[in-house]
Structure 1
Amino acid sequence: MESWIILLVVFVGIPLILVMIYNRLVALKQTCNQAWGDIDVQLKQRHDLVPNLVETVKGYAEHEKGTLEGVIKARQTAIDASSLKDLAEAENLLSGALRQLFALSESYPDLKANQNFLSLQNELADLENKIAAARRFFNNAVQEFNTAVEQFPAVLIANMFGFSAKDYFEVGETERGAPNVKF
């Protein structure tokens, strides 16, 4: 009778535990993918908003081409980024360029009073908050996944099936602290 229990544990219990661990890793990986999808949607909305913002400012700040071109270039770099690290760096550059654009608006009272500009600025501020929330959710999902991938006995299954630690979506130096936007 005792040998049947041992055989049952070896042939049913251990494979069942392995399947449960594998399924948990898959679920955590999918949570990371879904969280990244949320960030991607917000970043695409941000990328779509930037040209409208630049066009609105262009009419008021004809001689500020360097700032406007910097914003457009930073946006394109973010769109073209191919890895999470490159994207994080590009998004940080875009945030810095947008900060310069809003600082520029301080020199143009008519621009600051323009309803279209104010609407775009508010929409961008809302998107920045959504991106920050999505980034926190993504980084939390990555932390859970990375912890699961490194814990024993899951590390054995993770290595066997190619699960590897994911990168966090880091905040760059240009994004630390609150933005300085004045009305």
Structure 2
Amino acid sequence: MYFFVQGLQEKIKLVPIDLQNRPDWYKEKVYPPNKVPSLEHNNEIQGESFDLLKYIDSYFEGPALCPDDPTKREFAEELLSYTNTFNLAVITSLKGGYENEISTAFDYLKSALFKFTDGPFFLGQFNLVDIAYAPFIERFYPLLLDVKKYDITAGRPMLTSWIDVH
């Protein structure tokens, strides 16, 4: 989705690889940490999802995904740094942890969505934070509903709206 938003589908060649059995050439010639995704541009290799998105936002034309407003930019960094905590809370609860960890994690997102109300996205308008959280929420929503009978949207209308626009 991000590549289409940025208009990069013609400028970036996507190379699918088997994530369960990554080819040797990927680690040897592309990205030694052997993580995905990665990007080769101007004879440099970029990796780590958030760094990669920021790099693309800086070096390619298209709608900006990092906000210009300093308050929004600072909050974006806070939300991006929270992704590991968010994921750990949900995964821990799925492995038998406490349900209140799930609730706390999604309540944090609920509060974040209420901070800027100039649109249905984190920070109001579509941005880097939405791209960061989308894959996790898209997976966790049906999984938690099925496994834990926990509806992440219950009592969180802004999260419902956010999911609807994705």
TM-score category (smaller protein): 0.3 to 0.5
| TM-score normalised by length of structure 2 | 0.34
Asked which structure has the greater CA Rg, the reply is: 1
Which structure would you say has the larger RCO, counting Cα contacts within 8 Å and 6 or more residues apart?
1
| TM-score normalised by length of structure 1 | 0.32
Identify the structure with the greater strand proportion: 2
